[in-house]
C-alpha cells in the first residue's frame, strides 16, 4: 500500500541553464510551475527501490509533459 501526496501547483523561482551566444551556457532565473510530491509506503509490503522507480516515473512524466 502506498499513498501519493500532491501539493498545490505554484509558480517558483528556479535556476536554469540557457545557451550563451559564445557557445557555452550560463545560469538564469526563471518562474516555473512547481509541485511537491510525497510518497509514503509500507516497507513491509513495498520495497524502497520499487517506490523510488514509481515516483521517478511520475516525475519524469510530469517534467516531459507537452
Residues marked active site are found at 43, 47
- Spatial separation of the C-alpha atoms in residues 51 and 43, rounded to whole Å: 9
What are phi and psi for residue 57, nearest 5 degrees?
-65, -40
What span, in angstroms and rounded, lies between the C-alpha atoms of 41 and 36?
17
Amino acid at each position: 500500500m502506498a499513498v501519493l501526496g500532491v501539493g498545490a501547483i505554484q509558480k517558483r523561482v528556479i535556476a536554469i541553464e540557457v545557451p550563451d551566444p559564445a557557445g557555452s551556457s550560463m545560469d538564469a532565473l526563471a518562474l516555473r510551475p512547481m509541485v511537491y510530491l510525497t510518497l509514503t509506503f509500507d516497507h513491509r509490503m513495498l520495497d524502497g527501490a520499487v517506490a523510488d522507480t514509481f515516483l521517478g516515473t511520475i516525475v519524469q512524466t510530469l517534467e516531459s509533459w507537452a
